[in-house]
Chain A
Amino acid sequence: MHDMNRPEIRAARPDPGPAEGEAQDLAFLLAQVARGDHQAFEAVYAQLAGPVYGVVRQVLRDPAQSEEVAQEVLLEVWRSASRFDPARGSGVAWVLTMAHRRAVDRVRSENAGSRREQKVASEAVTEYEDVADTVETSLEGQRARRCLDSLTDLQSESIKLAYYGGYSYPEVAQLLGTALGTVKTRIRDGLIRMRDCMGVMA
């Protein structure tokens, strides 16, 4: 577009408080982005590129592919900001839900069939503990880790395999040698416990 070379507005944003304020600020920024504000989008990028790229890479592993998917997700934030409805959840959740789902969909479409199953069988659970050069985590991230550690082993392993590993719950059941119904229940119970531990507002 013709204004590509033009510097953009530097607007005074409302005071970004540490935690709550940030979330509020994000909803505000997304409303601006919906109206075509590139500057607001830069601020959204600054807040979310790390978690988006981090979670995508956690699932996909391959850096080049992760970058590609993370870019798609962030561009989708720009494209569909008008569809974000703050009444239905936080901006962080909106973006990261999209990021995780894209990563998982990419895995599933590529691994349809036996290749995936072989992989499932050969990969160790502990691999989902960490990926290298994870940014030193925010307070919120640290709290999430603590809460995750406070769950029972079966709960936290199920959640890690499902979320960080990108496995479906039947795959998780297979990996853990547990009944399907048990895994479904553990995932839900564990997440609810985490939610309460973190004081997340629904």
Chain B
Amino acid sequence: MHVLTGSYALDALGAQERTEFERHLQHCPSCQAEVRGLHETAARLAIARSARPPAQMEQRVLAATYRTRQLPPLAGQRLRRDLRQTRLARLFAGWLTAGQSRPDAQPRRSGRDRGNGWGNSWLRSPRLVGAVAAACVAAAVGLGITQVATQHQLDSAHATSAAIAKVLDAPDARIEATPASMGGAVTVVVSALQREAVVTTSGMPSLSSSRVYQVWVMSSSGARSVGLLSSTDHIGQLLASGVQSGDQIGITVEPSGGTSRPTTTPVATVPLTT
């Protein structure tokens, strides 16, 4: 049987022999290890034959992904999930639990400290949680940057990612969320200890190329700009530093390039009640 590892890795067994070998494989750890290495080797044979696919193929495949439901993980399979994502998922789930009784309500505090098990809301609203989980991953990965970036931009993006991760990991992190008046939603994770807030937008409508979303920290002494969200990004994320209780995060639509102070009514404001 063992000599078949090579032919199996190259798909050179007939249907019946393949089935038999796969049965054998389940009880043969050394065969499994060998097959694994030979599959990796075979993959290199494929790489050696890379060819340029027809131009329209990418569009077809990408379009098809929007029409294709994904399979759930197999039972008992552990997905790689780092601590931060889990933690953020908990924060979001807490918010969902809090939000469920009044779905159209204004922003409210959530509770990662609520006794109201997040696991339940997880189960009750899988679709919403799925969407939020995707946003969580995005949040954990980093902030929106354009595809072409200089090394400096990359470096600072990585630094910002790390700073965002720190806020999300803060022991006192709280989440605030509100729908935006033009559609979409704004979520703010704020840490009073670090005096920082991570502002995440999702599902906000695209703007014309001459307009951008600008994010502000608004306090009694005025508004200061946190930064611009590219209107080509479906999900945007910015880090606001030096925030304190009583401040508000506001988002306005401004001319491209941004302005020094808000010139339009905010499409969303989120009070920071740390």
Chain B hits for A42, CB < 8 A: 62
21 contacts between A and B (CB under 8 A): A8-B235, A9-B144, A9-B234, A10-B230, A31-B80, A37-B138, A50-B52, A53-B52, A79-B70, A82-B77, A83-B77, A97-B43, A100-B46, A140-B44, A141-B48, A148-B45, A168-B14, A184-B3, A188-B38, A191-B9, A198-B44
Q: Residue A174 at the B interface, CB < 8 A?
A: no
Of B154-162, B174-182, B213-221, B242-250, the one touching chain A: B154-162
Is there an interface contact between A75 and B45, defined as CB atoms closer than 8 Å? no
Q: How many A-B residue pairs have CB under 8 A?
A: 277
Name the CB-closest residue of B to A100: B11
Q: Residue B227 at the A interface, CB < 8 A?
A: no
Is there an interface contact between A38 and B53, defined as CB atoms closer than 8 Å? no
Chain B hits for A31, CB < 8 A: 79-80
Q: Residue B226 at the A interface, CB < 8 A?
A: no
Shortest Cβ gap from B224 to chain A (Å): 24
Specify the main secondary structure of chain A where it touches its partner.
helix
Known: A67-B54, A78-B65, A184-B7. A8 touches B41 (CB 8 A): no
Of B29-37, B117-125, B264-272, the one touching chain A: B29-37
Q: Residue B134 at the A interface, CB < 8 A?
A: yes
Is there an interface contact between A12 and B143, defined as CB atoms closer than 8 Å? yes
Interface string of B238-257 (1 = CB under 8 A from A): 00000000000000000000
Chain B hits for A104, CB < 8 A: 11
Chain A positions within 8 Å of B, measured between CB atoms, are 1, 3-4, 6-13, 15, 27, 31-32, 34-38, 41-42, 45, 49-55, 57-58, 63, 67, 70-71, 74-75, 78-83, 85-86, 88-90, 92-93, 96-97, 99-101, 104, 108, 131, 133-135, 137-138, 140-145, 147-148, 159, 162-164, 166-170, 172, 181, 184-185, 187-192, 194-195, 198, 200-202
Shortest Cβ gap from B202 to chain A (Å): 9
In the complex the two chains form, what is the Cα distance from A35 to B7 in whole Å? 34
In the complex the two chains form, what is the Cα distance from A181 to B7 in whole Å? 11
Q: Residue B105 at the A interface, CB < 8 A?
A: no
Classify chain B's interface size: 35 or more
Shortest Cβ gap from A126 to chain B (Å): 15
Is there an interface contact between A97 and B39, defined as CB atoms closer than 8 Å? yes
Q: Which of B41, B62, B70 has the most CB of A within 10 A?
A: B41
Chain B hits for A58, CB < 8 A: 49, 51
Name the CB-closest residue of B to A194: B41
Is there an interface contact between A198 and B41, defined as CB atoms closer than 8 Å? yes
Is there an interface contact between B13 and A148, defined as CB atoms closer than 8 Å? no
Chain A hits for B71, CB < 8 A: 79-80, 82-83
In the complex the two chains form, what is the Cα distance from A52 to B58 in whole Å? 12
Is there an interface contact between A9 and B49, defined as CB atoms closer than 8 Å? no
Is there an interface contact between B79 and A34, defined as CB atoms closer than 8 Å? yes
Is there an interface contact between B145 and A10, defined as CB atoms closer than 8 Å? yes
The 10 closest A-B pairs by CB, nearest first: A188-B6, A202-B37, A12-B142, A54-B51, A55-B46, A53-B53, A50-B50, A162-B12, A141-B48, A144-B44
In the complex the two chains form, what is the Cα distance from A55 to B94 in whole Å? 47
Name the CB-closest residue of A to B131: A36
